[in-house]
Amino acid sequence: MWNRVERALRRAYRTGTLLDLTDRPPGSENSVRAEVIAELLLAGPPAMPGRTARVDLAGARITGRFDLTGARVDAPIRLRHCVFDEAVVLDHAELGSVNLDGSTLPGIDTESLQVVRWFGMRNARIAGQGWFHHVRVGGGLDLSGSRFGGPVNLQRAVIEGDARLGHGAGYAAGLRMDGTRIAGDLSLAKADAQAPTDGAAISANAVTVGISVRAHDLVTDGVVMMNGLRAAVAIVLQRNTLRNPDGDALLLVEAQTAMLTLRLTPSSAGMIVLRDAHVGRLIDDPVGWPEACRIELAGLTYERVTRRSDDATEWTAAQRLTWMARYATGFTPGPYDQLAAALQRDGREQEASEVRRVRERLRHRAMGRLGAVWGAMQDVAIGFGYRPAWALLWLVAVLAAGSGFFAWSGPLRPITLGGAPTWDPLLYTLDLLVPLVDLGQERAWDPVGADKAVAVAVMAAGWVLATTVVAGAGRALRR
């Protein structure tokens, strides 16, 4: 026998109207058996003339298991603000649309569910797991504001519209969506997720997004894995709080997008890994980077590194180099090459040269003590070839100092009496200073004592200048 509420639901079904029990006074009957709803959906009475039959129920307590495994239902299913006694099961079903907004469920299982139009479960409370593995939705999937007590599995799903998984949504035991394809936007904005003991807070590896990933104000405890993620337009990680102080906080290995925004809150902690990611435009925050976050940049490629349109000031190359030195893991030349190339494309030639100079300085330091010494000599002499005017300044300085000393010390003793040219301290110093060039002065005079020490110093300076100039010229030609 059907109770009074179930009979009312049957009448509402035939007319396609809402049966709203949300304002019933306390103690009044509001329970509906799940089997009654299933019967109406699968073998219900015909619609009233001029109406479309459908289940549209709000504020009910649904007893028993609501199970539509393998069922095919074209009409919309609306069970809003309902309390389910048992988990909802929609495995392998083919449904027109589903709306479970504001409902309370022990759990939901939708393995291989196919929804023609839209699946919505906004602001719901799910005590256990949400199983959406391999679902296919012809329109959008909307879990905005829903809170899950158990793990949520959205792996290998196909969403032909947007997937809205944020806006207050909570995942107490993690969200897995590896291999999912989304034609529109993926929104994780203002969501929070906690990693289970043996998993990730969010696992979105190999996800393909047709437009953008929008995850501003996301809060996570545990690793966020987005390895191999593809987003055609943008990945926006703005004002995110990512916490995993003893490990990786964010993995974007081999991710691809036209624009990546990465700006974390000061309370973020853990390793940020951008290894081998490919980005058209990179927007980050080297000045406001969180103290507890290191970053791996090896293999990261980008065309431009810029600021947002609403940023008050532009970062400088010096600020970015300080950030890389402080937070980047180890030394690899690639990140410096990428930064220099991006600066050069934006017309910031002087800053690009400074970045390349710092790259060479760090590269030589990584070679050990001898490499560091040789690098320091090149750096001081000509800025590793990026400051060629310095070589001329050093040449003039050594020439002036040597000429002044030899002019003060007087003519040197000739090697051959009567055969020496006229004493000229400037030409003598120049002959000592420039290797492989013979002006006849060096062979004519025999320095002793302090004169000999200064002559050797001038010769050494000449060889150092010559070799550093050659090294710098070779580096410039390779560019």
d(CA 82, CA 56): 11
**Ranges of each domain in the chain:** 1-139, 385-478
Residue 278's SS3 state is strand
Per residue in 220-265, pLDDT (tens digit) is: 999 999 999 999 999 999 999 999 999 999 999 999 999 999 999 9
- For 160-185, b/e burial (b = at least 16 CB within 10 A) is bbbbbbbbebbbbbbbbbbbbbbbbb
DSSP H/E element including 212: strand 212-214
Residue ranges, the chain, pLDDT below 50 = none
Mean pLDDT, the chain, whole residue set:
86
d(CA 242, CA 192): 10
DSSP state of 477: H
Helix axes of 450-478 and 425-433: crossing angle, nearest 10 degrees:
50
Give residues with Cβ within 8 angstroms of 112, minimum separation 6.
Answer: 91, 92, 133, 134, 135, 136
Q: What's the pLDDT score for residue 153?
A: 97
Residue closest to 141 by CA, chosen among 109, 185, 174: 185
Q: Residue 395's Cα: distance from chain center in Å?
A: 47
d(CA 311, CA 101): 38
Phi-psi region of 267 (alpha: psi -120 to 50; beta: other; left: phi over 0): alpha
Per residue in 141-196, pLDDT (tens digit) is: 999 999 999 999 999 999 999 999 999 999 999 999 999 999 999 999 999 999 99
What sign results for the dihedral spanned by CA atoms 230, 234, 236, 237? positive
DSSP H/E element including 321: helix 317-327
Long-range contacts of 85-88 (CB under 8 A, 24+ apart): 85/61, 86/34, 87/128
d(CA 248, CA 94): 40
